[in-house]
Structure formats: structure tokens, C-alpha cells
Structure 1
Amino acid sequence: MLIRPASPDDDAAIAALILPEIAAGETYALSRDMGATAAVAYWRGPDRQTFVVENNGRLIGSYFLRANQGGDGDHVANAGYMVDPAARGRGVARAMATDSFDRARAAGFIAMQFNFVVSSNQRAVALWQTLGFAIVGRLPGAFRHPALGPVDVLVMFRSL
């Protein structure tokens, strides 16, 4: 696996990766009918650094890294991750997470916070906990899951 900064040449592959996850509506609080242009603009927004994971020349994952807040909160990082369903279970998310921790530390961040982890995304919650994240808050019923109805959202935090 190669993790590298995303470039505009990756936009079509990023769209192909993230659009199905957004449309499923199970893990991200984004409009499920978001189009490719809007999705890529969100994922590669000017307030973040975006990275892609390649395996044998194929994009199998992507993440972004940004400050969680501005001003006096800009020392805490935030990130979002997506893995191609065909590559799940092969350590891609763990590799992106550890890469993001290293890049966040190098950029001067002292911690990372996830503001809106959908509690029914048990695979992600378990991974984040094995990587040292603690659940520091729970927002009851804050996410409208398309199959499960209202589910809790977790706020997760770890020092870097």
C-alpha cells in the first residue's frame, strides 16, 4: 500500500470511492443525494489535506486531515476516512489512521477528535478504540440511520 497526498488527477477515483458510502447514508452526516462535484469538493476542501491509498495502482482508500476547530482549538486535529468495500478487512483503515496520526503530529496537532461517529458503525468504533480513542460524549439519537432509525453519535478523542 502506498499512502500519498491526493491530486486533482485522483478526483474521479475519490468520487467513485466516497459516493456509494455517502449515498448509503449509514456513516456520514452528508446529503445522500450529493453529486460527485460536491462530494469531491467536501472531501478535498481548502481547509484540509487529503490523502489516498493505492494498491497496485488502484485507489482503495482516502482520508482527510484538518483542524477540528479554528482559533484556540486549532491544535486538535479531525479526520475522515473511507475504504473501498472490496479492500475492507485488510488493514487499510488502520494504515490510514496511523499515517494520519503521524502527519497530524508533524503538523503540530496534539490530539485528534472525531465529532460525529455513528454508533452503529461498530467496525469503526472498535478500530478507533483499539487505536487509543476514548468515547468522551454520546449524542442520543443524533443520526437518522436509513435502516435503524435514530441512533446515537459518539464523540471520540485521543492524544497524539
Structure 2
Amino acid sequence: MQIREFAEDDWSQVWPIVRDVVRAADTFTYDPTMTAEQAYPIWVEKPPGLTVVAVEDGRVLGTAKMGTNRPGPGAHVSTASFMVGAEARGRGVGTALCRFALDWAREHGYAGMQFNAVAESNHPAVAVYRRLGFQVVGTVPGAFAHPTLGRVGLHVMYHGF
């Protein structure tokens, strides 16, 4: 598996991953009815941010975006988001993308990485993030409307460098 910078031609493979994850409405706070045209500028970061794809045999298995969490006085903290195609889950793609994002943030001089909204019910992602050194620094109770579990908390997670 190779992780490389997103290229325009990748969108035809990235969009189905984004679409399926967003429509499931069980992990991301994005509008489940968003279109490809609405999703593109949200997912594809402009510099100095970066969007990448995890590719194997010409097939996109997953994608990540990373950049500054907040501008101004908070610009020293990065953030990232990850999506993995259903058929590639459980193969380490999300872990590899997260490691890539952490390395990218360190190389760009950030003081740490913050995730603002991790559904506490997203146990696989929370486990990966904890294994890679993130801590839950707070949970907003009932802030995420999960389609089957009802309202669950959203974790704020942080990894300092």
C-alpha cells in the first residue's frame, strides 16, 4: 500500500468512499445528503493543508485530509480526518493514514493534533487513535445523532508532540 498526495483523477474513487461513509451517518458529522460537488471542497484541502489517498494496485482504499485545526492563535495545532472504503477496513489502512498525518504535522512544525468530533460509538477509530497516542480530553454528551444508537457523545481527542 502506498500513501500519496491526492490527484484530481482520484476523485472518481474517493467520492464513493466519502459518499458511503457520510450516508451511513454513524461516524461523521457531515450532512448525509451532501453531493459530490459539495463534498469536494470540504474533503480536498488547499495548501498548506493536504489530502492523500492510500492506494494498492491502482485502487484507492482510503483517504485522509490534514491541516490547521483553527486559524490565528490556534494555528499551531493540526487536525485530520480519515475515511476507509468498506472493503478495506480492518487491514490497517486507517492506522497507516493516521500515522502519515501525524508525521506530516510534526514535519510542518505543529505542536500537536486535535480531533474535534470523534463519535464515541466509533470504537475502531477511537482504539486506533488511542493506540497512536491520542487522549480523550473531553466528551460533549449527546452531541452526535447516531442513526441506531440515538444521541451519543463526541470526543475531543488530542496528541501533543
TM tier, smaller: over 0.9
SS, match of residue 147 in structure 1? coil
Greater than 6 Å deviation, 4+ residue runs: none
State yes or no: 1:112 paired with 2:113.
Answer: yes
Q: Compute the displacement of 1:8 (Å).
A: 1.0
Whether the aligned pair in 2 keeps the contact of 1:64 and 1:79 (CA below 8 Å) is yes
Distance in 2 between residues matched to 1:132 and 1:157, nearest whole Å: 8
State yes or no: 1:69 paired with 2:70.
Answer: yes
The share of aligned pairs that are identical, in percent, is 38
Please report the TM-score for the alignment, with normalisation by the length of structure 1: 0.97
State yes or no: 1:15 paired with 2:15.
Answer: yes
Distance in 1 between residues matched to 2:72 and 2:97, nearest whole Å: 26
Distance in 1 between residues matched to 2:91 and 2:63, nearest whole Å: 14
Q: Which runs of 5+ in 1 are unaligned?
A: none
SS, match of residue 3 in structure 1? strand
Please report the TM-score for the alignment, with normalisation by the length of structure 2: 0.96
Equivalent position of 2:60 in the other structure = 59
Distance in 2 between residues matched to 1:89 and 1:30, nearest whole Å: 23
Distance in 2 between residues matched to 1:37 and 1:8, nearest whole Å: 13
Matches within 5 A, 1:126-141: 126-141=127-142
SS, match of residue 70 in structure 2? coil
Distance in 2 between residues matched to 1:97 and 1:155, nearest whole Å: 16
SS, match of residue 101 in structure 1? helix
Per-residue displacement from partner, 1:105-131 (whole Å, max 9, x unpaired)?
Answer: 111112000000000001101111111
Distance in 2 between residues matched to 1:10 and 1:56, nearest whole Å: 13
Whether the aligned pair in 1 keeps the contact of 2:45 and 2:67 (CA below 8 Å) is no
Per-residue displacement from partner, 1:86-107 (whole Å, max 9, x unpaired)?
Answer: 1111111111111111111111
RMSD: 1.0
Q: What is the number of equivalent residue pairs in this alignment? A: 160
